[in-house]
Structure 1
Amino acid sequence: MAGSIFGSAFRISTFGESHGKAIGVVIDGCPAGLVIDEEFIQSELDRRRPGQSNIVTQRKESDTVQILSGIFEGKSTGTPLAMVIYNGDQRSQDYGHIADKYRPSHADYTYQVKYGIRDYRGGGRSSARETAARVAAGAIAKLLLAQQGVHIQAYVSQVGPLILQKSATELDLSLTESNDVRCPDPAMAEQMIDLIKAVRKDGDTIGGVVSAVITGCPVGLGEPAFDKLHADLGKAMLSINACKGFEYGSGFAGVSMRGSEHNDSFYQEDGKILTRTNHSGGIQGGISNGMDITFRVAFKPVATIIPEQESVNEQGEAVTVTGKGRHDPCVLPRAVPIVESMAALVLADHLLRQQMVKLP
């Protein structure tokens, strides 16, 4: 089965479960000679790890990464690059009460039917813990992209009904990491944090939106039919736990515009072809046009809540389910580095497919 493999020229395969011994990733296709900054990789994992603030799950994991292969004297060798992160703070006993029960809006029922067996401890393979492996791989992809002048910045733009009305060009994105919710508008960030705390106090959860901007992307990435750049970005984002929607450029808002309003007029400046507006979100015909790539990712409320819910067990008998254990009241703060990582994996893959990667 290839369900745990992503990418083509820059391909990753992740492994491990939430309450297993470890999680990890193997990268195939990373070109030789890339300087591997292990401190940067760890810093990316630190942005995603649990327990980093009082508005995320309090599971205590250091998420310390170990590189097992594919590196020599600080540079990639071109051979498979393997990384592992050992789990250290599992509380499997917290899940004994749902060993034979299906939690509403979780993968319990679908996994049971598909495989005939499921790991109920924290959701097993369906747990968002798996995304730590993606972030580790995404850090390598980011290092590769940085060499080509490509940078990705994601941030929280909505929590529940609280919507950041400013666009990325109106924001100081360097402020994204200055607060726990990762919103670059300090006043809005404070409101978002207060809302998440209130929701958590109620034993409930809440969703929202992560927005992202990719700068420095060259013209020509993406394929004309099934591997359009935005299609691959959409697949990448929709593979993230709790993701419910993806839009790029004008997205759904574009349907209320006329073509005369929506079209991005071309002009030339300093020998470069640019567009006066960017409703296309940096992608036209499935191929990057050199403008900033903009997209948004919608995340649902976390399915595990404290109040009792109606459900059934494996025998189809009516039961009630109560959430226990340590869970995020809102996935958004920790989703930001995951969104960036998945975007980095897509771009690294397309750069290599287009043979646009040049290392010193």
Structure 2
Amino acid sequence: RDHRGGGRSSARESVARVAGGAVAAMLLREFGICVQSGVVGVGTFVSNLKEKEFDFEFAKKSEIFCLDPKLESDFKNEILNARNSKDSVGAAVFTKVSGMLIGLGEVLYDKLDSKLAHALMGINAVKAVEIGEGINASKMRGSCNN
């Protein structure tokens, strides 16, 4: 395997995903669906903001799409330190979808959640996907999570 990141994870695949995403974003807007994303963690630095406190307007202007203005410089430094060490660093991305119909998709084998997780896990760098409360749901009672 080429250590320089060629092959399936090359820019040729990325450009197709970006172009498809741009078309999908236009289509979703037509249906009043808004998708917003941003970085909430880089390496050991993780935002402790609540979801409603994330600053999506700041993220639009941020070079690294950071949702927590107080941590942007820490995130950047962590990325630069990894780069200077000829290494990489993990990150966490938060995505919010609003205007989406509840219950969209099939009940069992064609759920929207499973299709989303499947698509995200197809990106080589993605190693985990949480939907809703994610792993925290295992600590909750159904009456609080459903």
TM-score (norm 2): 0.90
Alignment correspondent of 2:132 = 249
Alignment correspondent of 2:117 = 234
Cα deviation, 1:229-286, whole Å, max 9, x if unaligned, reads 10001011111121111110010011122234333xxxxxxxxxxxxxxxxxxxxxxx
Contact 2:40 2:93 in 1 (8 A): yes
Letter in 2 for 1:223: E
Contact 1:151 1:216 in 2 (8 A): yes
Contact 1:153 1:214 in 2 (8 A): yes
Post-superposition offset of 1:167: 2.6
Contact 1:153 1:212 in 2 (8 A): yes
1:200 aligns with 2:72: no
Query: Using the alignment, how far apart are the partners of 2:65 and 2:42 within structure 1?
Result: 11
With over 3 angstroms needed to count, the CA separation of the structure-2 counterparts of 1:132 and 1:167, relative to structure 1, is farther
1:211 aligns with 2:110: no
Contact 2:55 2:69 in 1 (8 A): no
Post-superposition offset of 1:225: 1.4
With over 3 angstroms needed to count, the CA separation of the structure-2 counterparts of 1:245 and 1:122, relative to structure 1, is closer
With over 3 angstroms needed to count, the CA separation of the structure-2 counterparts of 1:251 and 1:141, relative to structure 1, is same
TM-score (norm 1): 0.38
Letter in 1 for 2:34: H
Higher Rg of the two aligned structures: 1
With over 3 angstroms needed to count, the CA separation of the structure-2 counterparts of 1:129 and 1:210, relative to structure 1, is farther
Say which SS state the counterpart of residue 245 (structure 1) adopts: coil
Write the mapping of 1:55-66 to structure 2, written as runs, cut at 5 A. none
Query: Using the alignment, how far apart are the partners of 2:69 and 2:103 within structure 1?
Result: 37
Q: Give the percent of matched residue pairs that are identical in Structure 1 and Structure 2.
A: 39
Query: Using the alignment, how far apart are the partners of 1:162 and 1:146 within structure 2?
Result: 33
Cα deviation, 1:277-304, whole Å, max 9, x if unaligned, reads xxxxxxxxxxxxxxxxxxxxxxxxxxxx
Alignment correspondent of 2:63 = 180
Say which SS state the counterpart of residue 119 (structure 2) adopts: helix
2:22 to 139, 142, 146: 139
Say which SS state the counterpart of residue 152 (structure 1) adopts: strand
Say which SS state the counterpart of residue 156 (structure 1) adopts: strand
Write the mapping of 1:63-212 to structure 2, written as runs, cut at 5 A. 102=1, 122-127=5-10, 129-212=12-95
Letter in 1 for 2:8: R
Alignment correspondent of 1:21 = none
Contact 1:131 1:240 in 2 (8 A): no
Post-superposition offset of 1:220: 4.0
Query: Using the alignment, how far apart are the partners of 2:130 and 2:11 within structure 1?
Result: 22
Query: Using the alignment, how far apart are the partners of 1:124 and 1:245 within structure 2?
Result: 22
Question: How many residues align structurally?
Answer: 146
Query: Using the alignment, how far apart are the partners of 1:143 and 1:173 within structure 2?
Result: 19
Query: Using the alignment, how far apart are the partners of 2:53 and 2:134 within structure 1?
Result: 19
Letter in 1 for 2:14: T
Query: Using the alignment, how far apart are the partners of 1:219 and 1:204 within structure 2?
Result: 41
Query: Using the alignment, how far apart are the partners of 2:30 and 2:144 within structure 1?
Result: 36
